């Protein structure tokens, strides 16, 4: 057990990373409390409209779509820690103002829309800078573990925040939840200020006038190993990851549940997501393309099943493995991009990743809300799973064609799927049998533009 714990949490030995993770955990618990209460508030103010939920979610991510690439440019030119202090201060001030309006009892639906947009502006700067900043907190061998623990921190907050909000909504009302959440959102400002700047690693910043956004896009365009996870997450992030819109409506409209039951659905999703994050915490090398695709296929199937869940309990149970593969997929794609990019381009490349993963949410949230109002909330969920699955199949075909690999299905004497690498196909077809989601059994040989022999 000690060996497992030392492996899983080894990045926490670094003081700067401990401060980073602690501040993020406290803030994100508050943020998830606030967003859970916000979703419930929107349903109360809009007479249970899924479309209103879609508008709020879209407004939170419109700034991400518009400003994220510029934020990546800032991350490659300026001090990331100082940028994060400013962004988190702006977020905290906005949260305090919104909480005061809610607590005063004068809140209207347009207030929620306005502050969702303001939160989105702060997050459009904070998110890509924070993603790139992790690489400065730890050395490169610890980067996969640090990224995995960051995802675990996020999903721990997704468990604690909605669950705590669900309880508090029934005890102290929506106003009290917003006030408590606001107090927690200030934490990162203090933790960033306490960091030792002399212990930051790998700081490379472009000269003034450099770090052009276009150069970052050209860099990604020449790297097929980066293009595949980015394009795959663009589709799944836009269509498949719309649970903030669908779960609240599913709980209240289809299952006729209260706020605490809505918190249970969100918590079930987050429990699985935490497991997915911890499952990747022991990763020490860059994940292969087939691992990303395999996780995407599993996620699409499970989300499709959630859309056909006959009742509250079955939906809650299905959300656990769905949450597992959602974060396992997102984390594997993130690792593949982060660990394959040159440090000088990391801010801009991660900004592009955040753009396609989160910035497309306004489109997906609006579509999910519109579809849910016309064809029912469950259909918007299973449709998202179906699109995610089809996108994964296309990604698999793309990877097989670009690498020259091929799949071989054997039914007897032992069932299994084999990946035959292009370099081995003509040599007596030496093959390796792999579980699509099992840890790799050997090291992959990397070519300049991507995987030569890809292990799932």
State the pTM of this model: 0.67
My answer on whether 389 and 452 are in the same domain is no
My answer on whether 135 and 234 are in the same domain is yes
My answer on whether 59 and 197 are in the same domain is yes
Q: How confident is the model at residue 433 (pLDDT cuts 50, 70, 90)?
A: very low
Measured distance CA(299)–CA(402) in Å, rounded: 24
Q: What would the pLDDT profile of 130-164 be if each residue is shown by its tens digit? A: 888 888 888 877 877 887 787 777 766 766 676 67
Q: Residue with structure tokens 């007897």?
A: 412
166 within 8 A of 40, measured Cβ to Cβ: no
Measured distance CA(76)–CA(349) in Å, rounded: 10
My answer on whether 345 and 455 are in the same domain is no
Of the three residues 363, 383, 403, the one that is the final residue of a domain is 403
Among residues 64, 406, 356, which one has the least CA distance to residue 239? 356
In which domain, by residue range, is 193 found? Answer: 2-403
My answer on whether 428 and 390 are in the same domain is no
DSSP states of 346-413: HHHHHHHHHIIIIITHHHHHHHHHHHHHHH-HHHHHHHHHHHHHHHHHHHHHHHHHHH--EEEEE-SS
Among residues 443, 399, 442, which one has the least CA distance to residue 422? 399
My answer on whether 86 and 206 are in the same domain is yes
Q: What would the pLDDT profile of 92-132 be if each residue is shown by its tens digit? A: 888 888 888 888 888 888 888 998 899 888 888 888 888 88
Of the three residues 358, 378, 403, the one that is the final residue of a domain is 403
State the CATH number of the domain containing residue 251.
1.20.1250.20
Of the three residues 403, 422, 445, the one that is the final residue of a domain is 403
My answer on whether 213 and 269 are in the same domain is yes
Q: Where is pLDDT greater, at 268 or 421?
A: 268
Which phi and psi angles does 28 have, rounded to 5°? Answer: -70, -30
My answer on whether 223 and 358 are in the same domain is yes
Measured distance CA(456)–CA(443) in Å, rounded: 11
* Residue 302 in this model has a pLDDT that exceeds 90: yes
Q: Residue 418 carries which DSSP code?
A: E
Q: Which residues of 310-337 are buried (b: 16+ CB within 10 A; e: fewer)?
A: eebeebbebbbbbbbbbbbbbbbbbbbb
Measured distance CA(264)–CA(313) in Å, rounded: 10
Any residues with CB less than 8 A from the CB of 104 and at least 6 apart, and which? none
pLDDT value, residue 342:
78
Q: Please report how the helices 109-137 and 15-45 are oriented relative to each other, as an axis angle in degrees rounded to 10.
A: 160
- Domain count for the chain: 2
Which range is least confidently modeled, 274-278, 295-299, 330-334?
A: 274-278
Q: Residue 444 carries which DSSP code?
A: P
Report the pLDDT averaged over residues 187-204: 83
pLDDT value, residue 204:
58
My answer on whether 177 and 50 are in the same domain is yes
My answer on whether 369 and 434 are in the same domain is no
Q: Which residues of 164-179 are buried (b: 16+ CB within 10 A; e: fewer)?
A: bbbebbeeeebbbbbb
My answer on whether 430 and 357 are in the same domain is no
pLDDT value, residue 450:
41
**Angle CA(76)–CA(358)–CA(234) in degrees, nearest 5?**
100
My answer on whether 426 and 440 are in the same domain is yes
Measured distance CA(211)–CA(208) in Å, rounded: 8
């Amino acid at each position: 057990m000690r060996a497992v714990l030392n492996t899983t949490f080894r990045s926490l030995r670094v003081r700067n990373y401990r401060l980073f993770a602690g501040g993020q955990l406290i803030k994100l618990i508050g943020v998830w409390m606030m967003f859970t209460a916000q979703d419930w508030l929107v349903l109360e103010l809009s007479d249970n409209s899924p479309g209103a939920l879609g508008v709020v979610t879209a407004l939170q991510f419109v700034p991400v779509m518009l400003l994220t690439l510029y934020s990546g440019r800032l991350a490659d030119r300026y001090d990331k820690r100082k940028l994060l202090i400013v962004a988190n201060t702006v977020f905290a001030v906005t949260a305090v103002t919104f909480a005061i309006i809610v607590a005063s009892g004068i809140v209207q639906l347009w207030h929620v829309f306005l502050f969702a947009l303001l939160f989105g502006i702060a997050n459009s700067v904070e998110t890509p800078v924070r993603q790139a900043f992790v690489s400065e907190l730890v050395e490169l061998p610890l980067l996969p573990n640090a990224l995995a623990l960051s995802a675990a921190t996020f999903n721990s907050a997704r468990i604690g925040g909605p669950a705590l909000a669900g309880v508090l909504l029934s005890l102290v009302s929506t106003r009290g939840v917003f006030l408590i959440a606001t107090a927690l959102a200030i934490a990162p400002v203090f933790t960033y200020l306490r960091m030792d700047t002399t212990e930051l690693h790998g700081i490379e910043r472009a000269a003034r006038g450099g770090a052009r956004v276009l150069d970052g896009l050209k860099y990604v365009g020449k790297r097929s190993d980066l293009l595949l996870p980015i394009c795959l997450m663009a589709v799944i992030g836009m269509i498949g990851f719309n649970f903030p819109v669908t779960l609240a409506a599913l709980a209240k409209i289809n299952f006729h549940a209260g706020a605490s039951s809505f918190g249970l659905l969100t918590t079930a999703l987050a429990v699985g997501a935490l497991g997915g994050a911890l499952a990747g915490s022991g990763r020490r090398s860059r994940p292969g393309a087939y691992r990303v695709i395999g996780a995407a296929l599993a996620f699409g199937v499970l989300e499709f099943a959630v859309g056909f869940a006959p009742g509250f309990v079955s939906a809650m149970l299905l959300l656990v493995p769905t949450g597992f593969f959602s974060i396992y997929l997102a984390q594997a794609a993130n690792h593949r991009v982060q660990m394959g990019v040159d440090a000088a381009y990391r801010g801009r490349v991660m900004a592009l990743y955040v753009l396609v993963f989160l910035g497309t949410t306004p489109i997906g949230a609006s579509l999910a809300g519109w579809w849910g109002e016309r064809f029912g909330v469950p259909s918007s969920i299973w449709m998202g799973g179906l699109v995610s699955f089809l996108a994964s199949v296309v990604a698999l075909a793309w990877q097989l064609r670009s690498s020259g690999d091929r799949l071989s299905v054997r039914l007897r004497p032992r069932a299994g799927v084999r990946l035959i690498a292009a370099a081995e196909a003509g040599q007596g077809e030496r093959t390796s049998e792999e579980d699509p989601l099992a840890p790799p059994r050997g090291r992959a040989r990397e070519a300049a533009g991507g995987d030569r022999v890809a292990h799932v």
